[in-house]
Structure 1
Amino acid sequence: MVDLSQLRPRQIYAAVEESPIAWIPLGAIEWHGWHAPVGLDALTSSGLCQLAWEKLGGIVMPPLHYGAYASIAGHPWTILLDQEDSDILVRLLLNTLQRLEEFGVKKAVVLTGHFATVQGEILAELNDLWKSQWRAMKLVVLNPDSCPDLPIPPDHGGLFETALLQSLHPDAIDMAELSDELVEEKNPAGIQRRDPSHPLYGVIGADPRPVTAEQGEKLRDHLLAWILAEVKD
Protein backbone atom coordinates (compact mmCIF):
# COMPACT_ATOMS: atom_id res chain seq x y z
CA MET A 1 0.00 0.00 0.00
CA VAL A 2 1.22 3.50 -0.82
CA ASP A 3 -0.28 6.83 0.11
CA LEU A 4 -2.23 9.10 -2.22
CA SER A 5 0.82 11.12 -3.24
CA GLN A 6 2.30 8.05 -4.93
CA LEU A 7 -0.81 7.07 -6.88
CA ARG A 8 -1.64 8.00 -10.45
CA PRO A 9 -5.07 9.55 -11.14
CA ARG A 10 -6.66 6.37 -12.59
CA GLN A 11 -5.51 4.45 -9.52
CA ILE A 12 -7.11 7.04 -7.26
CA TYR A 13 -10.40 7.04 -9.18
CA ALA A 14 -10.53 3.23 -9.06
CA ALA A 15 -9.81 3.11 -5.32
CA VAL A 16 -12.49 5.71 -4.47
CA GLU A 17 -15.05 4.05 -6.74
CA GLU A 18 -14.47 0.73 -5.01
CA SER A 19 -14.48 2.19 -1.49
CA PRO A 20 -15.10 5.96 -1.06
CA ILE A 21 -13.17 6.30 2.21
CA ALA A 22 -10.25 8.66 2.84
CA TRP A 23 -7.90 7.95 5.74
CA ILE A 24 -6.13 11.06 7.09
CA PRO A 25 -3.31 10.35 9.59
CA LEU A 26 -2.05 13.20 11.78
CA GLY A 27 1.16 13.47 13.75
CA ALA A 28 3.86 15.90 14.83
CA ILE A 29 7.61 16.35 14.98
CA GLU A 30 8.51 15.76 18.62
CA TRP A 31 11.21 14.43 20.88
CA HIS A 32 10.03 11.06 22.24
CA GLY A 33 13.22 9.95 23.94
CA TRP A 34 16.53 8.72 22.57
CA HIS A 35 15.02 5.40 21.47
CA ALA A 36 12.27 6.68 19.16
CA PRO A 37 12.03 8.75 15.96
CA VAL A 38 10.74 12.31 16.15
CA GLY A 39 8.01 11.41 13.66
CA LEU A 40 6.57 8.71 15.92
CA ASP A 41 3.05 10.17 16.04
CA ALA A 42 2.56 10.17 12.28
CA LEU A 43 4.23 6.78 11.90
CA THR A 44 1.72 5.23 14.29
CA SER A 45 -1.35 6.98 12.86
CA SER A 46 -0.38 6.20 9.27
CA GLY A 47 0.47 2.62 10.22
CA LEU A 48 -2.95 2.12 11.79
CA CYS A 49 -4.61 3.79 8.79
CA GLN A 50 -2.84 1.38 6.48
CA LEU A 51 -4.04 -1.60 8.49
CA ALA A 52 -7.58 -0.24 8.42
CA TRP A 53 -7.22 0.39 4.67
CA GLU A 54 -6.37 -3.28 4.21
CA LYS A 55 -9.75 -4.14 5.75
CA LEU A 56 -11.99 -1.41 4.31
CA GLY A 57 -10.13 0.01 1.31
CA GLY A 58 -10.25 3.60 0.08
CA ILE A 59 -7.27 5.96 -0.08
CA VAL A 60 -4.71 6.92 2.56
CA MET A 61 -3.54 10.52 2.61
CA PRO A 62 0.13 11.33 3.27
CA PRO A 63 0.61 11.81 7.02
CA LEU A 64 0.63 15.37 8.31
CA HIS A 65 3.55 15.92 10.67
CA TYR A 66 2.47 19.30 12.08
CA GLY A 67 0.72 19.01 15.43
CA ALA A 68 -0.49 21.44 18.05
CA TYR A 69 1.34 22.83 21.06
CA ALA A 70 2.23 20.45 23.90
CA SER A 71 4.16 20.80 27.14
CA ILE A 72 7.28 19.31 25.53
CA ALA A 73 7.39 22.10 22.93
CA GLY A 74 10.82 23.25 24.13
CA HIS A 75 12.51 19.86 23.76
CA PRO A 76 15.13 19.28 21.03
CA TRP A 77 13.96 18.56 17.48
CA THR A 78 10.38 19.38 18.36
CA ILE A 79 8.40 21.57 15.95
CA LEU A 80 4.82 22.30 17.02
CA LEU A 81 2.25 24.93 16.20
CA ASP A 82 1.92 27.59 18.89
CA GLN A 83 -1.41 27.67 20.70
CA GLU A 84 -2.38 30.94 19.02
CA ASP A 85 -1.74 29.35 15.61
CA SER A 86 -3.96 26.33 16.16
CA ASP A 87 -6.53 27.68 13.71
CA ILE A 88 -4.00 27.02 10.93
CA LEU A 89 -4.46 23.28 11.40
CA VAL A 90 -8.26 23.62 11.47
CA ARG A 91 -8.24 25.57 8.21
CA LEU A 92 -5.86 23.15 6.53
CA LEU A 93 -7.97 20.15 7.50
CA LEU A 94 -11.22 21.84 6.51
CA ASN A 95 -9.80 22.61 3.08
CA THR A 96 -8.65 19.01 2.72
CA LEU A 97 -12.07 17.67 3.71
CA GLN A 98 -13.91 20.00 1.36
CA ARG A 99 -11.78 18.92 -1.59
CA LEU A 100 -12.15 15.23 -0.75
CA GLU A 101 -15.92 15.70 -0.62
CA GLU A 102 -15.82 17.30 -4.08
CA PHE A 103 -13.83 14.33 -5.38
CA GLY A 104 -16.57 11.89 -4.36
CA VAL A 105 -15.28 10.62 -1.03
CA LYS A 106 -18.22 9.63 1.18
CA LYS A 107 -16.41 9.14 4.48
CA ALA A 108 -13.23 10.77 5.80
CA VAL A 109 -11.44 9.34 8.84
CA VAL A 110 -9.08 11.68 10.69
CA LEU A 111 -6.83 9.68 13.03
CA THR A 112 -4.34 11.52 15.22
CA GLY A 113 -1.22 10.00 16.68
CA HIS A 114 -0.51 13.24 18.55
CA PHE A 115 -2.43 13.28 21.83
CA ALA A 116 -1.73 16.78 23.17
CA THR A 117 -4.70 18.48 24.84
CA VAL A 118 -4.67 21.32 22.31
CA GLN A 119 -4.67 18.78 19.47
CA GLY A 120 -7.81 17.22 20.91
CA GLU A 121 -9.46 20.63 21.15
CA ILE A 122 -8.60 21.37 17.52
CA LEU A 123 -10.10 18.10 16.34
CA ALA A 124 -13.24 18.68 18.39
CA GLU A 125 -13.59 22.09 16.75
CA LEU A 126 -13.05 20.55 13.32
CA ASN A 127 -15.70 17.94 13.99
CA ASP A 128 -18.21 20.55 15.19
CA LEU A 129 -17.55 22.85 12.21
CA TRP A 130 -17.98 20.04 9.71
CA LYS A 131 -21.18 18.75 11.27
CA SER A 132 -22.70 22.20 11.69
CA GLN A 133 -23.66 22.16 8.00
CA TRP A 134 -25.22 19.55 5.76
CA ARG A 135 -22.47 17.50 4.16
CA ALA A 136 -22.42 14.76 1.55
CA MET A 137 -19.33 13.30 3.22
CA LYS A 138 -19.33 11.90 6.74
CA LEU A 139 -16.45 12.81 9.04
CA VAL A 140 -15.08 10.45 11.68
CA VAL A 141 -12.51 11.96 14.05
CA LEU A 142 -10.54 9.47 16.13
CA ASN A 143 -8.11 10.07 18.97
CA PRO A 144 -6.63 6.85 20.44
CA ASP A 145 -6.50 8.68 23.76
CA SER A 146 -10.29 8.13 23.96
CA CYS A 147 -10.26 4.46 22.93
CA PRO A 148 -11.95 2.43 25.69
CA ASP A 149 -10.31 -0.41 27.61
CA LEU A 150 -6.79 0.22 26.34
CA PRO A 151 -4.37 -2.45 27.61
CA ILE A 152 -1.73 0.27 28.17
CA PRO A 153 -2.54 3.89 29.12
CA PRO A 154 -1.57 6.51 26.49
CA ASP A 155 1.67 8.41 27.07
CA HIS A 156 4.45 10.28 25.32
CA GLY A 157 7.36 8.08 24.29
CA GLY A 158 6.59 5.66 27.11
CA LEU A 159 5.40 2.08 27.11
CA PHE A 160 2.23 2.84 25.10
CA GLU A 161 3.83 4.71 22.20
CA THR A 162 6.93 2.53 22.16
CA ALA A 163 4.97 -0.73 22.10
CA LEU A 164 2.58 0.55 19.42
CA LEU A 165 5.26 1.85 17.08
CA GLN A 166 7.37 -1.27 17.56
CA SER A 167 4.38 -3.39 16.47
CA LEU A 168 3.91 -1.29 13.32
CA HIS A 169 7.52 -0.44 12.42
CA PRO A 170 9.87 -2.75 14.37
CA ASP A 171 13.02 -1.16 12.96
CA ALA A 172 12.00 2.35 14.06
CA ILE A 173 12.62 1.68 17.75
CA ASP A 174 16.09 1.10 19.19
CA MET A 175 15.95 0.30 22.88
CA ALA A 176 19.75 0.13 23.01
CA GLU A 177 19.71 3.93 22.78
CA LEU A 178 18.32 4.09 26.34
CA SER A 179 20.46 3.82 29.43
CA ASP A 180 19.86 0.78 31.64
CA GLU A 181 20.16 2.95 34.74
CA LEU A 182 17.33 2.17 37.15
CA VAL A 183 15.35 5.04 38.63
CA GLU A 184 12.82 5.14 41.45
CA GLU A 185 9.99 7.55 40.70
CA LYS A 186 6.57 8.16 42.16
CA ASN A 187 5.47 10.17 39.14
CA PRO A 188 6.59 8.96 35.66
CA ALA A 189 5.27 12.22 34.20
CA GLY A 190 7.09 14.42 36.70
CA ILE A 191 9.38 17.36 36.10
CA GLN A 192 12.42 15.10 36.46
CA ARG A 193 11.71 13.69 33.00
CA ARG A 194 12.42 17.17 31.55
CA ASP A 195 16.03 16.97 32.75
CA PRO A 196 18.43 16.05 29.91
CA SER A 197 20.54 14.07 32.39
CA HIS A 198 17.62 11.75 33.22
CA PRO A 199 17.93 8.28 31.61
CA LEU A 200 14.36 8.67 30.30
CA TYR A 201 14.64 12.31 29.26
CA GLY A 202 11.52 13.37 27.37
CA VAL A 203 9.63 10.15 28.04
CA ILE A 204 6.39 11.12 29.75
CA GLY A 205 4.76 7.96 31.02
CA ALA A 206 5.55 4.38 31.96
CA ASP A 207 9.14 3.21 31.45
CA PRO A 208 9.31 1.71 27.94
CA ARG A 209 12.39 -0.42 28.57
CA PRO A 210 10.52 -3.59 29.63
CA VAL A 211 8.40 -3.51 26.42
CA THR A 212 7.54 -6.82 24.76
CA ALA A 213 6.37 -7.66 21.25
CA GLU A 214 3.23 -9.21 22.72
CA GLN A 215 2.29 -5.92 24.40
CA GLY A 216 2.61 -4.05 21.13
CA GLU A 217 0.61 -6.59 19.14
CA LYS A 218 -2.18 -6.60 21.71
CA LEU A 219 -2.33 -2.79 21.75
CA ARG A 220 -2.21 -2.54 17.94
CA ASP A 221 -4.98 -5.09 17.47
CA HIS A 222 -7.14 -3.44 20.13
CA LEU A 223 -6.82 -0.03 18.46
CA LEU A 224 -7.45 -1.45 15.00
CA ALA A 225 -10.64 -3.19 16.14
CA TRP A 226 -11.83 0.10 17.69
CA ILE A 227 -11.06 2.08 14.53
CA LEU A 228 -12.90 -0.39 12.30
CA ALA A 229 -15.93 -0.40 14.60
CA GLU A 230 -16.06 3.42 14.68
CA VAL A 231 -15.75 3.71 10.91
CA LYS A 232 -18.28 1.01 10.13
CA ASP A 233 -20.84 2.51 12.54
Structure 2
Amino acid sequence: MTRQIERLRPHQIRAQLAERPVVWMPLGTIEWHCEHLPVGLDALTAHGLCLRAAERGGGLVMPPLYFGTGGGHGGYPWTIMMQGASEIEAILTRTAERLGAMEVERLILVSGHFADEQLEMLDRFSETWNAVGTGPRIIATAVNRCPGADMAPDHAGAFETLLMHALAAELVDLSRLPRLDQAPDAFDRHDPQSPVWGVIGTDPRTVDLSEGERLMDRLTDWLTLQAL
Protein backbone atom coordinates (compact mmCIF):
# COMPACT_ATOMS: atom_id res chain seq x y z
CA MET A 1 0.00 0.00 0.00
CA THR A 2 1.22 3.46 -0.84
CA ARG A 3 2.41 5.83 1.90
CA GLN A 4 1.14 8.89 0.00
CA ILE A 5 -1.70 10.21 2.14
CA GLU A 6 -3.51 11.89 -0.74
CA ARG A 7 -3.94 8.50 -2.47
CA LEU A 8 -5.49 6.75 0.53
CA ARG A 9 -9.05 6.39 1.73
CA PRO A 10 -9.91 7.22 5.36
CA HIS A 11 -9.91 3.63 6.62
CA GLN A 12 -6.47 3.11 5.09
CA ILE A 13 -5.14 6.24 6.75
CA ARG A 14 -6.51 5.13 10.10
CA ALA A 15 -4.92 1.69 9.74
CA GLN A 16 -1.49 3.09 8.86
CA LEU A 17 -1.48 5.67 11.63
CA ALA A 18 -2.64 3.09 14.18
CA GLU A 19 0.67 1.31 13.54
CA ARG A 20 2.77 4.48 13.76
CA PRO A 21 1.11 7.89 14.25
CA VAL A 22 3.73 9.78 12.23
CA VAL A 23 3.30 12.07 9.23
CA TRP A 24 6.14 13.21 7.00
CA MET A 25 5.91 16.57 5.23
CA PRO A 26 8.38 17.31 2.40
CA LEU A 27 9.17 20.89 1.46
CA GLY A 28 10.95 22.34 -1.55
CA THR A 29 10.70 24.98 -4.26
CA ILE A 30 10.20 25.64 -7.93
CA GLU A 31 13.72 26.73 -8.71
CA TRP A 32 16.36 26.79 -11.44
CA HIS A 33 18.77 23.86 -11.12
CA CYS A 34 20.79 24.39 -14.28
CA GLU A 35 19.79 22.75 -17.58
CA HIS A 36 20.22 19.12 -16.53
CA LEU A 37 17.80 18.98 -13.59
CA PRO A 38 14.06 19.60 -13.08
CA VAL A 39 12.93 22.86 -11.49
CA GLY A 40 11.01 20.94 -8.81
CA LEU A 41 14.11 19.08 -7.62
CA ASP A 42 14.08 20.22 -3.99
CA ALA A 43 10.52 19.08 -3.36
CA LEU A 44 10.91 15.94 -5.48
CA THR A 45 13.99 14.91 -3.55
CA ALA A 46 12.40 15.57 -0.16
CA HIS A 47 9.26 13.69 -1.18
CA GLY A 48 11.21 10.70 -2.45
CA LEU A 49 13.28 10.55 0.71
CA CYS A 50 10.18 10.78 2.91
CA LEU A 51 8.53 7.93 1.03
CA ARG A 52 11.58 5.72 1.45
CA ALA A 53 11.88 6.59 5.13
CA ALA A 54 8.17 5.93 5.68
CA GLU A 55 8.50 2.51 4.09
CA ARG A 56 11.24 1.66 6.57
CA GLY A 57 10.09 3.50 9.67
CA GLY A 58 6.35 3.85 9.25
CA GLY A 59 3.98 6.76 8.90
CA LEU A 60 2.36 8.55 5.98
CA VAL A 61 3.69 11.22 3.63
CA MET A 62 1.98 14.49 2.78
CA PRO A 63 2.17 15.93 -0.74
CA PRO A 64 5.26 18.12 -1.10
CA LEU A 65 5.07 21.87 -0.60
CA TYR A 66 6.70 23.46 -3.65
CA PHE A 67 7.26 26.95 -2.25
CA GLY A 68 10.33 27.83 -0.22
CA THR A 69 12.17 30.97 0.74
CA GLY A 70 15.71 32.29 0.65
CA GLY A 71 18.81 31.41 -1.29
CA GLY A 72 19.58 34.72 -2.97
CA HIS A 73 18.68 33.67 -6.51
CA GLY A 74 14.95 34.26 -6.68
CA GLY A 75 15.35 36.09 -10.00
CA TYR A 76 16.67 33.07 -11.90
CA PRO A 77 14.48 31.63 -14.67
CA TRP A 78 11.69 29.25 -13.65
CA THR A 79 12.13 30.11 -10.00
CA ILE A 80 9.24 31.00 -7.69
CA MET A 81 10.29 31.89 -4.15
CA MET A 82 8.24 33.33 -1.36
CA GLN A 83 9.65 36.67 -0.27
CA GLY A 84 9.40 35.76 3.41
CA ALA A 85 8.47 33.00 5.80
CA SER A 86 4.98 34.09 6.87
CA GLU A 87 3.06 32.40 4.04
CA ILE A 88 4.85 29.09 4.57
CA GLU A 89 4.50 29.25 8.34
CA ALA A 90 0.74 29.74 7.95
CA ILE A 91 0.51 26.53 5.93
CA LEU A 92 2.65 24.63 8.44
CA THR A 93 0.58 25.91 11.36
CA ARG A 94 -2.72 24.85 9.86
CA THR A 95 -1.30 21.48 8.84
CA ALA A 96 -0.01 20.81 12.35
CA GLU A 97 -3.33 21.91 13.90
CA ARG A 98 -5.38 19.56 11.74
CA LEU A 99 -3.00 16.62 12.12
CA GLY A 100 -3.09 17.11 15.88
CA ALA A 101 -6.88 16.97 15.81
CA MET A 102 -6.55 13.61 14.03
CA GLU A 103 -4.23 12.31 16.77
CA VAL A 104 -1.01 12.33 14.79
CA GLU A 105 1.77 12.27 17.38
CA ARG A 106 4.76 13.31 15.30
CA LEU A 107 5.12 15.59 12.26
CA ILE A 108 8.48 15.41 10.51
CA LEU A 109 9.30 18.36 8.25
CA VAL A 110 11.93 17.49 5.65
CA SER A 111 13.19 20.27 3.40
CA GLY A 112 14.97 19.62 0.14
CA HIS A 113 15.58 23.36 -0.09
CA PHE A 114 18.20 24.28 2.47
CA ALA A 115 18.87 27.98 2.09
CA ASP A 116 19.69 29.56 5.45
CA GLU A 117 16.39 31.44 5.53
CA GLN A 118 14.44 28.22 4.94
CA LEU A 119 16.24 26.33 7.69
CA GLU A 120 15.91 29.20 10.15
CA MET A 121 12.18 29.33 9.45
CA LEU A 122 11.71 25.60 10.04
CA ASP A 123 13.80 25.58 13.20
CA ARG A 124 11.97 28.59 14.59
CA PHE A 125 8.58 27.14 13.71
CA SER A 126 9.26 23.75 15.30
CA GLU A 127 10.75 25.26 18.46
CA THR A 128 7.81 27.63 18.90
CA TRP A 129 5.24 24.92 18.26
CA ASN A 130 6.88 22.34 20.53
CA ALA A 131 7.21 24.87 23.35
CA VAL A 132 3.42 25.09 23.54
CA GLY A 133 3.18 21.32 23.92
CA THR A 134 -0.05 20.73 22.00
CA GLY A 135 -0.72 18.64 18.94
CA PRO A 136 1.98 16.59 17.21
CA ARG A 137 5.58 16.98 18.21
CA ILE A 138 7.41 18.53 15.27
CA ILE A 139 10.84 17.53 14.06
CA ALA A 140 12.38 19.81 11.45
CA THR A 141 15.30 18.77 9.31
CA ALA A 142 16.68 19.01 5.77
CA VAL A 143 18.60 16.89 3.31
CA ASN A 144 21.83 18.78 4.00
CA ARG A 145 21.81 17.78 7.68
CA CYS A 146 22.72 14.11 7.28
CA PRO A 147 26.01 13.70 9.17
CA GLY A 148 26.98 10.52 7.31
CA ALA A 149 26.37 11.61 3.74
CA ASP A 150 30.12 11.69 2.95
CA MET A 151 29.43 14.38 0.37
CA ALA A 152 29.06 18.11 0.76
CA PRO A 153 25.54 19.42 0.04
CA ASP A 154 25.30 21.73 -2.95
CA HIS A 155 22.94 23.39 -5.38
CA ALA A 156 22.51 21.53 -8.69
CA GLY A 157 25.97 20.00 -8.31
CA ALA A 158 27.11 16.46 -7.59
CA PHE A 159 25.05 16.04 -4.40
CA GLU A 160 21.67 17.08 -5.76
CA THR A 161 22.29 15.49 -9.16
CA LEU A 162 23.09 12.11 -7.61
CA LEU A 163 20.07 12.22 -5.30
CA MET A 164 17.72 13.10 -8.12
CA HIS A 165 19.16 10.38 -10.34
CA ALA A 166 18.73 7.77 -7.61
CA LEU A 167 15.07 8.73 -7.18
CA ALA A 168 14.09 9.32 -10.80
CA ALA A 169 16.87 8.78 -13.32
CA GLU A 170 14.61 9.88 -16.18
CA LEU A 171 14.55 13.42 -14.77
CA VAL A 172 18.33 13.89 -15.01
CA ASP A 173 19.91 14.62 -18.39
CA LEU A 174 23.59 15.51 -18.31
CA SER A 175 23.57 15.66 -22.11
CA ARG A 176 21.92 19.06 -21.72
CA LEU A 177 25.30 20.32 -20.52
CA PRO A 178 28.26 20.69 -22.88
CA ARG A 179 31.03 18.15 -22.45
CA LEU A 180 33.61 19.14 -19.87
CA ASP A 181 36.49 18.97 -22.38
CA GLN A 182 34.58 21.22 -24.77
CA ALA A 183 33.33 23.77 -22.24
CA PRO A 184 35.45 23.86 -19.09
CA ASP A 185 34.13 25.55 -15.99
CA ALA A 186 35.86 28.86 -16.60
CA PHE A 187 33.01 31.30 -15.87
CA ASP A 188 31.42 32.79 -12.82
CA ARG A 189 28.62 30.28 -12.20
CA HIS A 190 26.18 33.11 -11.67
CA ASP A 191 26.94 34.21 -15.25
CA PRO A 192 24.34 32.88 -17.73
CA GLN A 193 27.24 32.12 -20.09
CA SER A 194 28.63 29.54 -17.70
CA PRO A 195 28.13 25.94 -18.90
CA VAL A 196 26.99 25.16 -15.36
CA TRP A 197 24.99 28.32 -14.70
CA GLY A 198 23.59 28.24 -11.17
CA VAL A 199 25.57 25.22 -9.98
CA ILE A 200 27.07 25.78 -6.54
CA GLY A 201 29.35 22.88 -5.64
CA THR A 202 31.05 20.09 -7.54
CA ASP A 203 30.53 20.20 -11.30
CA PRO A 204 27.91 17.50 -12.02
CA ARG A 205 29.74 16.52 -15.21
CA THR A 206 32.52 14.99 -13.11
CA VAL A 207 30.42 12.44 -11.18
CA ASP A 208 29.49 8.79 -11.66
CA LEU A 209 25.71 8.74 -11.51
CA SER A 210 25.71 5.18 -10.18
CA GLU A 211 26.97 6.60 -6.85
CA GLY A 212 23.54 8.07 -6.25
CA GLU A 213 22.04 4.89 -4.80
CA ARG A 214 24.64 4.73 -2.06
CA LEU A 215 24.10 8.38 -1.18
CA MET A 216 20.34 7.85 -1.15
CA ASP A 217 20.64 4.85 1.16
CA ARG A 218 22.72 6.85 3.64
CA LEU A 219 20.20 9.66 3.73
CA THR A 220 17.28 7.24 4.01
CA ASP A 221 18.88 5.41 6.94
CA TRP A 222 19.50 8.68 8.72
CA LEU A 223 16.03 10.05 8.02
CA THR A 224 14.28 6.85 9.13
CA LEU A 225 15.70 7.34 12.62
CA GLN A 226 13.62 10.51 12.94
CA ALA A 227 10.44 8.40 13.11
CA LEU A 228 11.65 6.14 15.91
TM-score class, shorter-chain normalisation, is over 0.9
Quote the residue 2:89 is aligned against: 90
User: What SS is found at the alignment partner of 1:16?
Assistant: helix
Quote the residue 1:115 is aligned against: 114
Does residue 213 of structure 1 match 2:209?
Answer: yes
Q: TM-score, normalised by structure 1?
A: 0.91
Q: TM-score, normalised by structure 2?
A: 0.93
What's the CA shift for 1:21?
0.8
Give, in whole Å, the separation in 2 of the partners of 1:184 and 1:35: 15
Give, in whole Å, the separation in 1 of the partners of 2:166 and 2:135: 36
Quote the residue 2:167 is aligned against: 168
Give, in whole Å, the separation in 2 of the partners of 1:50 and 1:120: 21
Q: Which amino acid aligns with 1:78?
A: T
Which runs of structure 2 are paired with 1:50-61 in the superposition (5 Å)? 50-61=51-62
Q: Which runs of 5+ in 1 are unaligned?
A: 186-190
Q: Which amino acid aligns with 1:63?
A: P
Give, in whole Å, the separation in 2 of the partners of 1:184 and 1:197: 10
Determine if contact 1:151/1:218 at 8 Å carries over to the other structure.
no
User: What SS is found at the alignment partner of 2:188?
Assistant: helix
Change in 2 beyond 3 A, CA 1:231/1:13: closer
What's the CA shift for 1:136?
4.5
Give, in whole Å, the separation in 2 of the partners of 1:66 and 1:25: 11
Give, in whole Å, the separation in 2 of the partners of 1:61 and 1:230: 16
CA RMSD of aligned residues (A): 1.5
What's the CA shift for 1:211?
2.2
Which runs of structure 2 are paired with 1:147-186 in the superposition (5 Å)? 147-180=146-179, 181-184=182-185
Which runs of structure 2 are paired with 1:1-233 in the superposition (5 Å)? 1=2, 3-82=4-83, 85-180=84-179, 181-184=182-185, 192-232=188-228
Give, in whole Å, the separation in 1 of the partners of 2:178 and 2:223: 35
What's the CA shift for 1:184?
4.8
Give, in whole Å, the separation in 1 of the partners of 2:207 and 2:122: 30
**4+ residue runs of structure 1 moved beyond 2 angstroms?**
181-185
Aligned residue-pair number? 225
Cα deviations across residues 142-174 of structure 1 (Å, max 9, x unaligned)? 112222132210011000000011011111101
Q: Which runs of 5+ in 2 are unaligned?
A: none
Give, in whole Å, the separation in 1 of the partners of 2:175 and 2:76: 21
